[in-house]
Amino acid sequence: MHKVLIVDDDPTFCLMLKSYLGNKGFEVKEVFTAESALKAAREKHFDIILTDFRLPDIDGITLISKFRDVQHGVPVVLMTRYGEIRSAVSAIKAGAFDYITKPVNPDELLLTVNKAISKAKQRPKAKDTGIRAETLQGNLSYLRGTSQPAMLVEQYISLIAPTDMSVIIQGESGTGKEYAARMIHMKSERHDMPFVAVDCGTLSNELAASELFGHTKGSFTDAHTEKEGQFQLANGGTLFLDEIGNLSYENQIKLLRATQERKVRKLGGSKDIEVDVRIIVATNEDLNTAVQRGTFREDLFHRLNEFKINIPPLRQRGEDIIQFAEYFLEIANDELRKKTIGFEKDVVETILNYSWPGNIRELKNIIKRAVLLAQGDMITLGCLPPEITGQGFTTLPPPEAAAATTDLKSLAETHEKSTIISVLEKVRFNKTKAAQMLNIDRKTLYNKMKLYGIEG
Residue 407: how many other CB atoms lie within 10 Å: 11
Q: Name all domains of the chain by residue range, CATH numbers in brackets.
A: 3-127 (3.40.50.2300), 145-310 (3.40.50.300), 314-389 (1.10.8.60), 405-452 (1.10.10.60)
Of all residues in the chain, the percent with pLDDT exceeding 70 is 87
- The pLDDT of residue 255 is 93
- The pLDDT of residue 210 is 86
Beta strands in 329-406 (DSSP E): 342-343, 378-379
Rounded distance between C-alpha atoms, residue 307 and residue 91, angstroms: 15
Q: Does residue 265 surpass a pLDDT of 50?
A: yes
DSSP string, 24-50: TT-EEEEESSHHHHHHHHHHS--SEEE
Of all residues in the chain, the percent with pLDDT exceeding 90 is 36
* Secondary structure element (H or E) that encloses residue 449, with its range: helix 442-452
Q: Which whole number is the average pLDDT over 295-322?
A: 92
Q: Which whole number is the average pLDDT over 80-87?
A: 63
Residue 349: how many other CB atoms lie within 10 Å: 12
Residue of 262, 309, 260 lying closest to 281 (CA atoms)? 309
CA angle 203, 205, 208 (to 5 degrees): 50
Judge whether 205 and 247 are in contact, CB under 8 Å.
no
Rounded distance between C-alpha atoms, residue 352 and residue 347, angstroms: 9
pLDDT classification of 445: cutoffs 50, 70, 90? confident
CA angle 426, 431, 437 (to 5 degrees): 60
Rounded distance between C-alpha atoms, residue 303 and residue 257, angstroms: 10
Residue of 43, 55, 70 lying closest to 14 (CA atoms)? 55
Q: Which residues pair with 259 in a beta bridge?
A: none
Residue of 123, 142, 72, 65 lying closest to 96 (CA atoms)? 65
Which of 149-158, 329-338, 431-440 shows the lowest per-residue confidence on average (mean pLDDT)?
Answer: 431-440
Q: Does residue 25 surpass a pLDDT of 60?
A: yes
Rounded distance between C-alpha atoms, residue 362 and residue 385, angstroms: 12
pLDDT tens for each residue of 176-203? 898 899 999 988 999 889 999 998 877 7
- The pLDDT of residue 407 is 56
pLDDT tens for each residue of 125-146? 333 334 445 545 444 455 677 7
Q: Does residue 59 surpass a pLDDT of 50?
A: yes
* Secondary structure element (H or E) that encloses residue 369, with its range: helix 359-373
Rounded distance between C-alpha atoms, residue 255 and residue 212, angstroms: 9
Rounded distance between C-alpha atoms, residue 111 and residue 197, angstroms: 33
The residue count for the chain: 456
* Cβ-based burial of 214 (10 A; exposed 0-12, middle 13-18, buried ≥19): buried
Secondary structure of residue 211 in the 3-state scheme: helix
